[in-house]
Amino acid sequence: MGKLFHPGAFLEKIKRKKKSTKRQLTPKLKYGCSSSEDHQFVRGIPIYAISQVLEKIISGTPGPFRLINGIRRPMPLVRLLEVELYPTLLSKARSYGLSDNWVQALAKKDPVRRQVLRVKGCLAGSKAEKLLEQGDMILAINKEPITCFLDIENACQKLDQSIDSDGVLNMTIFRQGKEIDLIVGTDVRDGNGSTRMVNWCGSIIQDPHSAVRALGFLPKEGHGVYVARWCHGSPVHRYGLYALQWIVEVNGQPTPDLESFIEVVKGLEDREFVRVKTVHLNGKPRVLTLKQDLHYWPTWELTFEPESDTWKRRTIKALQPTGA
């Protein structure tokens, strides 16, 4: 977490501008509108998403330290069920075969919303990935009915409060007409997000972040490092190494993570041809060759240091100036 939020209503205002002209904002968002007017809409998120973590920060729950507003504070680790969920009305769930007993139990738990949570997808590499499937209905955790996202959050937080917890949830789900009991693992995150990236041949390379993992795919070959962006005029632009793909090998050497990738590329020389094996977001592998240019495109990395709240740049490989 990079900022502390005020424990009140948290609103996010998004402005869409199609031209630089200043116009009166309208409170309605007109989808598909081709006019040049500016529009705005306002959304809110439940405050419990902030307050639960904020309480841990204030109480000094142990965790890695982070500089917040000039004060060095321990930031608590957050336990998550890395699954994307969405609500479905009980009336629709009944048509999928959900029993009357469960419909009544869920309606009794939440008579206002009358809904059940369904799985949209699991984050790739998560402990839930191999267990939960798209379309599963989450009926209960530890025999307690589940009807909303807060129920999931509370179930995960209870695992940290239990001394003998092994970090798993005893879930009851509904899948293809059958009720199934599963033991699903949870993941622990520090909330810092991406803290390291490498610029190699004009491409921005990092370990896959949560938004990428939410797409539900990682290469089988040790995952690899993710190409997030590329620069115009760079070697990767010239030779076609674009974003939305993973580098899994460089000159035949596996690059399962950022550290191993750095170890490989720091041994490459200027003007050297490099063979790169990639896997695209659609799962298709590809092999290409590019030529390094350490004069204009040196290899360097950015690393975030949470304790000082700063980013530091370090040159990994650059063209050494020749002596007079």
Q: What is the pLDDT of residue 91?
A: 95
Q: Which residue has the tokens 């075969």?
A: 97
Average pLDDT score over residue span 111-138? 96
206 with 300, same domain: the answer is: yes
Chain mean pLDDT for the chain:
86
Sign (positive or negative) of CA dihedral 188, 193, 196, 198 = positive
Q: What is the pLDDT of residue 323?
A: 55
Instruction: Read off φ and ψ for residue 113, nearest 5 degrees.
Output: -80, -35
> Across-strand partners of 202?
none
* 3-state secondary structure string across 207-231: CCCHHHHCCCCCCCCCCCEEEEEEC
Q: Residue 221's domain spans which residues?
A: 196-317
140 with 203, same domain: the answer is: no
155 with 172, same domain: the answer is: yes
Domain boundary among 152, 173, 189: 189
Task: Tell me the whole-structure pTM to 2 decimals.
Answer: 0.77
208 with 180, same domain: the answer is: no
Least-confidence region, from 146-150, 158-162, 282-286: 158-162
Q: What is the pLDDT of residue 227?
A: 97
256 with 155, same domain: the answer is: no
Kindly tell me if the per-residue pLDDT of 110 is higher than 60. yes
Does 19 map to a domain?
no
Does 285 map to a domain?
yes
Domain boundary among 189, 206, 241: 189
211 with 164, same domain: the answer is: no
Does 213 map to a domain?
yes
Does 99 map to a domain?
yes
- Of residues 322 and 180, more confidence is placed in 180
Least-confidence region, from 51-60, 279-288, 307-316: 51-60
Could you tell me the CATH number of the domain that includes residue 121? 2.30.42.10
* Residues 125, 80: Cα–Cα separation, whole Å: 13
Neighbours of 152 (CB within 10 A): 20
Does 306 map to a domain?
yes
181 with 203, same domain: the answer is: no
- Of residues 164 and 270, more confidence is placed in 270
Q: What is the pLDDT of residue 33?
A: 54
* Residues 124, 82: Cα–Cα separation, whole Å: 9
Does 37 map to a domain?
no
Q: If 0-12 CB within 10 Å is exposed, 13-18 middle and 19+ buried, where does residue 183 land? A: exposed
Residue partners of 193: CB distance under 8 A and separation at least 6: 209, 210
Kindly tell me if the per-residue pLDDT of 7 is higher than 50. no
Average pLDDT score over residue span 93-117? 96
Q: If 0-12 CB within 10 Å is exposed, 13-18 middle and 19+ buried, where does residue 134 land? A: exposed
Domain boundary among 151, 167, 189: 189
Q: Number of folded domains in the chain? A: 2
141 with 219, same domain: the answer is: no
> Across-strand partners of 178?
175
- Of the chain, the percentage scoring pLDDT greater than 90 comes to 66
What would the pLDDT profile of 211-226 be if each residue is shown by its tens digit?
Answer: 999 988 999 867 899 9
Does 204 map to a domain?
yes
Neighbours of 91 (CB within 10 A): 10
175 with 201, same domain: the answer is: no
Does 28 map to a domain?
no
Do the Cβ atoms of 188 and 79 come closer than 8 Å? Answer: yes
Alpha helices in the chain (DSSP H): 48-59, 90-95, 100-109, 149-161, 210-213, 235-239, 258-265
